[in-house]
Copies of this chain bind each other. A is one copy, B any other.
Amino acid sequence: MLKVAIIGPGLVGGALLEQLVAHAKSQFFATLPISVVGLINSKKMAVTPTPFPEADLTNWKAAILGATAAPANLASFVEQLAQLPGPVALVDCTASDSVASQYPSWLTKGLSIVTPNKKAFSNDYALYHKIKEISSSPSGPFVYHESTVGAGLPVLSTLNDLVRTGDRIVKIEGIFSGTLSYLFNNFSIPGAASTFSECVAVAKASGYTEPDPRDDLNGMDVARKVTILGRCAGLDIGTDTLPVENIVPEALRTVTTADEFMQRLPEFDEHFKELNEQALAAGSVLRYVGLVDVRGGQSAVKLMRYSLDHPFASLKGSDNIIAFTTERFPNPLIIQGAGAGDDVTAFGIFSDLIRIAERVGLQRVHL
């Protein structure tokens, strides 16, 4: 039995709870039992030695974290989980730096970690290294973070398999932002008629962007994903040194509000139109990509051109696409599909939890 506790159960955590409740009723639960024993949000928390009943989980906000729950205290929450018998995995659904910085201490207490939170793996290298060091024992605890890149797409598991089996990564190239995928898939295709600012406005209205679209257009989210992939491929890179092309026009970087930014963005439509027309005239389209250049040392985040028959050019909607070029795969191994969304992010977390449940399977037999 793998016991699971969720930190910051919001949309993704809620989707995960739904999937776990369905799992508990499925045939797979018999061989891979996973149960929820803890929930904490910014206000309340609850830990239980016996798993929460299904009825409470389907109504967790009121039934588990309602008015009668204890006040939130992360240190005490973790301490109580560490006292439970058997393996426990903490799922960090926050995007918090300070939560991520505590992973080493939690691992030291024997707690495994699964998370879509990119911070621990893309901030300073010392934290990353410490986490990898503690979690590299074959007897656990374990750290899995598939959902930090491409949500549930099998990106990190594939990269890890390539690296561990001795393949040599040449480069990893991809469209890692659902927002920027959607934007350029619509703005830069033959025959498209919308201006860049119109595309951004539609993306914002459809909920594809951050509240302030500059948080997507500045490339920092992509830079974090490139950092994570690069480190998994053995590079010592970080967002502080990676060249990142910020496509927010310089004059708009300092305006105060998102509204003002949106209002003034049309002033720069001519600039983007020109870039796009140059690309199209050359039989190409524009795509905003992250590049982990293991061989060439030119890792970067930038706007690039791809010819119309390239897989990046035919991408649809807000899909992600990741191409691994390696010694064994000179014609790259490519993975594409939805790289954002609550259900697919929860799917990635759940797959990671299953990997841990499989790895502690024998512990369950022996203990």
Contact = CB atoms under 8 A, between A and B. Distances in A.
Question: Which among A153, A157, A362, A364 has the greatest number of chain B C-beta atoms within 10 A?
Answer: A362
A329 interface: yes
A166 interface: yes
A124 B79 CA distance: 52
Nearest to A139: B365
A302 interface: no
| Stoichiometry, copies per complex | 2
B329 A365 contact: no
A interface, size bucket? 35 or more
A201 interface: no
A138 B31 contact: yes
Interface in A311-367: 311, 314, 316-317, 319, 328-329, 331-338, 343-344, 347, 350-351, 354, 357-366
B152 A154 contact: no
A27 to B, nearest CB: 10
A22 interface: yes
A333 B151 CA distance: 12
B19 A362 contact: no
Nearest to A314: B309
Question: Which among A31, A314, A329 has the greatest number of chain B C-beta atoms within 10 A?
Answer: A329
Contacts of A26: 166
Interface in A149-184: 152-154, 157-158, 161-162, 164-167
17 contacts: A19-B165, A31-B136, A139-B361, A152-B161, A157-B157, A164-B354, A319-B331, A328-B338, A328-B343, A328-B344, A329-B338, A331-B337, A333-B338, A358-B358, A362-B362, A362-B363, A362-B366
